Homo-oligomer: A and B are copies of this chain.
Amino acid sequence: MRYSMHMGFHDGDASQREAGARGAVKGRATMRDVAKRAGVSLKTVSRVVNEEPGVSAATIAIVTAAMDELSFQRDLLAGSLRRQDRRSDSIGLIVAGVDNPFDAIIHRAAEDAAAANHVAVFAASTNEEIERERSLVRAFTSRRVDGLIIMPCGRDQSYLEPELTAGTPIIMVDRPPVGVAADCVISDHQNAAKLAVEHLLAAGHTRIAFLGDLSHIASLQARKDGYLEAMQAAGVTVDPELMAIDNHSENAALGTALRMISSAHPPTAIFSAQNRVTQGVVRALYERNVHKKIALVSFDDFPLADMLNPAVTVVAQDPYTIGRLAAERVFERLENPKLPVKTITVPARLVRRGSGEIPPPADE
């Protein structure tokens, strides 16, 4: 019923005639429509809408009434086209997956910071696909977002150079950019990973497995380096059998962990370098009933980690702070485009919960 009623405006002959005269049978009222109805000029309506000074109270009342009658809503897109600063009052957020809890918290933080600036957030997922990262950047910049927050998955972000030159603030999160100088908000992956592995080493473990996700992600490399650094510093030789990367899914990690656990020389501890990977490892440990025998430390916290048995010891990052700082940096850079490029490190901390405190077997 509603959809067959094609007159876009509320009742009232005048507005219907106007709409008809413009050939439109449906659509939204414009400032011109409001101006005509209120008997004032377009510019006066603009002044009222933008709350500019120099309009008499009486005129404001007339214009406001006309706006209400026509359900007028200003078109921000059209406005930004002509506006001096050309701001669209929108930013783009590109993460690995908007449904990953870590990414989702970054998203929420960015949204909160953006909302405080009357800015809307486009959000999208790369799915860790390099081509998708590029096409999402194109999709957002061609919509003239005022800034971009990117969790880069590719090996090279030099393709962003023209955007940077055009003045679009671009802030990387969670992973440093490669091939381009851009702001970055990030955990200290390498040191945090080192911390985790040192914790296991201190308990006497030497057969510490490393399970990572995709090798082309910079943060995974940093976490691996932290693992290797800690092992080397402790004088422990790394068994290549205990290093497995490119676990592209929870299921892949599950399979890898099962294989390691069942091998001739299983690890006595596992360092899992990503939240999805951890969930696969946890499943494997339970499936083989060794969850109380093999130690586990996870990079990245996850919901209910503390309710498992044993509760999972993690290196907890602070995604909300990461997202907030990234968004705030966008707005800072919008204010002052000449700011020097900066990397902001957000602390991660070891949260001891039990799984990381399981000692190695006595007969080792």
Contacts and interface: CB of A to CB of B under 8 A. Distances in A.
Given A143-B77, A143-B120, A181 B2 contact: yes
16 contacts: A2-B164, A71-B165, A75-B142, A76-B144, A77-B77, A98-B104, A98-B107, A98-B123, A101-B101, A107-B123, A118-B139, A120-B122, A121-B122, A121-B123, A283-B307, A308-B308
Interface string A103-146: 01101100100010010111111000000000000111111100
B303 A279 contact: yes
Nearest to A112: B125
Interface residues of A, number: 65
Given A99-B107, A279-B304, 13 more contacts: A3-B338, A4-B338, A28-B166, A71-B162, A73-B141, A104-B104, A120-B143, A123-B123, A302-B303, A304-B307, A304-B308, A307-B308, A308-B308
Contacts of A181: 2
A266 to B, nearest CB: 21
Contacts of A78: 81
Interface in A66-93: 71, 73-78, 80-81, 86, 88-90
Nearest to A86: B27
Contacts of A98: 98, 104, 107-108, 111, 123
A337 B3 CA distance: 6
Contacts of A71: 162, 165-166
Nearest to A140: B120
